[in-house]
Amino acid sequence: MSWVNAIIQGVLVGGLYALFACGLSLMFGVMKVVNLAHGDLAVVAGYVAIGVITVTHIPVLWSFLIVVPVMAVLGYVLQRTILQGALDRSVLATLMVTFGLSVVIENGLLQFFTANTRGIGTGLALVTGSFSIGQIQIGYLPVAIFVIAVVVLLGLQYFLSATRYGRLIRAVADDKEAAQLAGADYRHVFGIAAAVAFGTVALGGIAYGMYAQLAPTTGTDTILLFAFAAVVIGGLGSLWGTLLGGVVLGVAQQIGAQISISDETLAGFIVFLAVLALRPQGLISRGAQS
Amino acid sequence: MSGPPNGERPERGTPLVEVHDLVVHHGQLRALDGISFRVFPGEVYAIIGANGAGKSTLLRTIAGLHSPTSGSVLFDGTDVTGLRPERRARQGIAMVPEGRRLFGSLSVEENLQVGAAFAREGPWTIERVYETFDWMRARRNQSAAQLSGGEQQTVAIGRALLANPRVLLLDELSLGLAPVVVQRIYGMLPQILAAGLTVLLVEQDVSQALRVASHIHCLLEGRTTLEGTPASVSADQVEAAYFGLAGAAPSSAAPEGSEP
């Protein structure tokens, strides 16, 4: 029964990893930006949520109504300024710039908020409560996060396939110049894509703050790594691949933890390495496009 | 189509496109060396020349994809040299780029929708594109990458027309297509251009260009070697201007200042 339990918990936490991964995948798929500050931005979103809740006394669960737009605007502005500036030079420059951004954010958070860990909504029944099926205890929160992840992916899929800006994002990702010839300002379209990606980052950060604890270093030592692993396992550029990748990663970690609690993280990265070695295009490959 | 079958050119009104003393570099290479010409409304203006003559560079510079080293591009009397390509597109310069450049992960219809996304007011709608190219409707949900070369070229033309441009730039329509397909695509042009659209096209296939053009302009290694109406130039002159054969006398129709 403990193995079944491990698999169920792994699948559910995969939803959280998908929330981390889909924004990373979108930014790479559209702009070819590997955003090394992705995890730190999720942490920033979590801290913003804590601040917003403290100051406005808005119910914890509604904090996303403020945090998501704030992060989306930040995404647009960052893309139009320093990220575009780096892109105009070279793809490598974007790596350097996002790495720098990551360092600055992390140290800024340490400076202003100390290294203490913080949780979001720690007293809520949703966060602490659980229900049981037979002998298996399932927390409300992992289920809620998984559902949110699925809703976010469905929303992203609808946005990309059925809306004007979604179509422009895919067109620009295919061929910037041809899109310009059709009148599309690709810089603006990139900004929109970054805004959407940062919106998902915000949800990921809030979810993680409720699921675990946030500290200034959580972004690089946990969120970014898991996001990368989920993207690579699922297949770069594939939307639903991020969910599959997250689920595979989550299940591997939980099974590893069953064997020995200290093997949890290791097991996840062994699967990550195995996929890289045996199926580098990921479990769901998106055709010949790389 | 407009344009006189032979004889004089109707140089009336403001030129729709005017290129003035254009110099463009690719790195160290001087791809265009002082090109000037004017395209009047309703004309089908063909730039011909061999590979590497600078034709595509010229078209891309007019569309805004290349920045000239010196010289200027005017659109309807306004200097657009500093404008980004998307701004020029929205003002009415549409281009069918070399190699079609469809959005491969988008369906046929989505490609057309992108073409219409920043369209000006005008006669072209997606419905009209489907009426003009009747095979397209049935295959509108297919991925553009699955189409044959000729079909892709037609979708690329449809995508450009949907912007309702004032001038349509066509870059090497014949490239990589079977001759019979090229025939068919050029055969469609008169029908497409019925609305008085101005066309500036670049073509390696001289016979196609001579058939559809109201004015031709031959480039050789970035310089103008011949200019005139198809009726006013002889086959020998075109051949000499195209290949740069020694002893080729500049045509009587060649413009002033085309050679230093």
d(CA A21, CA A200) in angstroms, rounded, equals 9
Would you state the pLDDT for residue B74? 97
Mean pLDDT in residue range A242-263: 93
Contact B95 A181 (CB under 8 A): yes
Contact A167 B114 (CB under 8 A): yes
Is pLDDT at A63 greater than 70 in this prediction? yes
Q: Residue A175 has what DSSP assignment?
A: -
Q: Residue A35 has what DSSP assignment?
A: -
Is pLDDT at A30 greater than 80 in this prediction? yes
Given pLDDT bands bounded at 50, 70 and 90, which one contains residue B246?
low
Contact B117 A184 (CB under 8 A): yes
d(CA A195, CA A182) in angstroms, rounded, equals 23
Which one has a higher pLDDT value, B4 or B77? B77
Would you state the pLDDT for residue B11? 60
Q: Three-state SS across chain B? A: CCCCCCCCCCCCCCCCEEEEEEEEEECCEEEEEEEEEEECCCCEEEEECCCCCCHHHHHHHHHCCCCCCEEEEEECCEECCCCCHHHHHHHCEEEECCCCCCCCCCEHHHHHHHHHCCCCCCCCCHHHHHHHCCHHHHCCCCEHHHCCHHHHHHHHHHHHHCCCCCEEEEECCCCCCCHHHHHHHHHHHHHHHHHCCEEEEEECCHHHHHHHCCEEEEEECCEEEEEECHHHCCHHHHHHHHHCCCCCCCCCCCCCCCCC
d(CA A281, CA A79) in angstroms, rounded, equals 27
- Token pair belonging to A205: 């950060």
C-alpha of B233 from chain center? 20
> Which residue from B minimizes the CA distance to A176?
B103
> Which residue from B minimizes the CA distance to A289?
B105
Would you state the pLDDT for residue B8? 55
Would you state the pLDDT for residue B160? 96
Would you state the pLDDT for residue A91? 83
Given pLDDT bands bounded at 50, 70 and 90, which one contains residue A10?
very high
Would you state the pLDDT for residue B1? 42
Mutate to test the interface with A, among B61, B83, B101, B103 (most CBs of A within 10 A): B103
Would you state the pLDDT for residue A265? 87
Would you state the pLDDT for residue A134? 87
Please give, rounded to a whole number of angstroms, the shortest distance from the CA of A184 to a CA of chain B: 6
Closest to A190 measured CA to CA, from A201, A179, A182:
A179
Element (H, E) at A60: none
Is pLDDT at B253 greater than 60 in this prediction? no
Closest to B165 measured CA to CA, from B46, B85, B81:
B85
C-alpha of B149 from chain center? 19
Q: Is A34 on the interface with B (CB under 8 A)?
A: no
Is pLDDT at A287 greater than 90 in this prediction? no
Is pLDDT at B29 greater than 70 in this prediction? yes
Touching B: A residues 139-198, CB under 8 Å: 164, 167-168, 170-171, 173-175, 177-186
Given pLDDT bands bounded at 50, 70 and 90, which one contains residue B94?
very high
Contact A181 B103 (CB under 8 A): no
Mutate to test the interface with B, among A159, A180, A181 (most CBs of B within 10 A): A181
- Token pair belonging to B250: 């500049």
d(CA B240, CA B192) in angstroms, rounded, equals 32
C-alpha of B123 from chain center? 20
User: Over the stretch A185-206, which tens digit does the pLDDT of each residue have?
Assistant: 999 999 999 999 999 999 999 9
Mean pLDDT in residue range A112-141: 91
- Token pair belonging to A146: 């998984």
| Cβ-based contacts of A186 with chain B (< 8 Å) | 86
d(CA A131, CA A158) in angstroms, rounded, equals 32
C-alpha of B170 from chain center? 3
d(CA A264, CA B14) in angstroms, rounded, equals 74
Would you state the pLDDT for residue B188? 83
User: Over the stretch B207-231, which tens digit does the pLDDT of each residue have?
Assistant: 888 888 999 999 999 999 999 998 8
Neighbours of B194 (CB within 10 A): 10
Please give, rounded to a whole number of angstroms, the shortest distance from the CA of B48 to a CA of chain A: 22
Mean pLDDT in residue range A61-90: 96
Chain B residues with CB under 8 Å of a chain A CB are 63-65, 84-86, 89-90, 94-95, 97, 101-106, 110-111, 113-115, 117-119, 159-160, 163
User: Over the stretch B100-125, which tens digit does the pLDDT of each residue have?
Assistant: 999 999 999 999 999 999 999 999 99
Q: B201 near B167, Cβ under 8 Å?
A: no
Given pLDDT bands bounded at 50, 70 and 90, which one contains residue A290?
very low
Given pLDDT bands bounded at 50, 70 and 90, which one contains residue A261?
confident
ipTM above 0.95, yes or no: no
Tokens 């990368």 locate to A228
User: Over the stretch B125-166, which tens digit does the pLDDT of each residue have?
Assistant: 999 999 999 899 999 999 999 999 999 999 999 999 999 999
Q: Whole-number mean pLDDT of chain A?
A: 93
Element (H, E) at A63: none
Given pLDDT bands bounded at 50, 70 and 90, which one contains residue B205?
confident
Q: B68 near B50, Cβ under 8 Å?
A: no
- Token pair belonging to A178: 């041809």
| Phi and psi torsions of B155, nearest 5° | -65, -40
d(CA A107, CA A154) in angstroms, rounded, equals 35
| Cβ-based contacts of A285 with chain B (< 8 Å) | none
Q: B220 near B49, Cβ under 8 Å?
A: yes
Stretch among A39-48, A221-230, B193-202, B246-255 having the lowest mean pLDDT: B246-255
Mean pLDDT in residue range A249-254: 95
Mean pLDDT in residue range A44-60: 94
Is pLDDT at B250 greater than 80 in this prediction? no
Q: CA torsion angle for B211, B214, B215, B221 (degrees, to 10)?
A: -40
> Which residue from A minimizes the CA distance to B91?
A183
Q: ∠A41-A43-A49 over CA atoms, to 5°?
A: 105
Q: Which of B63, B105, B106 sits opposite A181 (nearest CB)?
A: B63
DSSP β-ladder status, B78-79 and A130-133: unpaired
Q: Give strand pairing partners of A280.
A: none
Cα Rg of chain B, angstroms? 18
Q: Residue A132 has what DSSP assignment?
A: E
Tokens 């996304």 locate to B117
d(CA A181, CA B207) in angstroms, rounded, equals 28
Is pLDDT at B194 greater than 80 in this prediction? no
- Token pair belonging to A261: 């609690």
C-alpha of A25 from chain center? 9
d(CA A65, CA B181) in angstroms, rounded, equals 55
- Token pair belonging to A151: 């809703």
- Token pair belonging to A28: 């790479």
Which one has a higher pLDDT value, A91 or A77? A77
Q: B130 near B196, Cβ under 8 Å?
A: no
Would you state the pLDDT for residue B9? 61
d(CA B171, CA B166) in angstroms, rounded, equals 16
Element (H, E) at A114: none
Would you state the pLDDT for residue B35? 95
Given pLDDT bands bounded at 50, 70 and 90, which one contains residue A289?
very low
Q: Whole-number mean pLDDT of chain B?
A: 88
Tokens 């804590």 locate to A50
Would you state the pLDDT for residue A282? 87
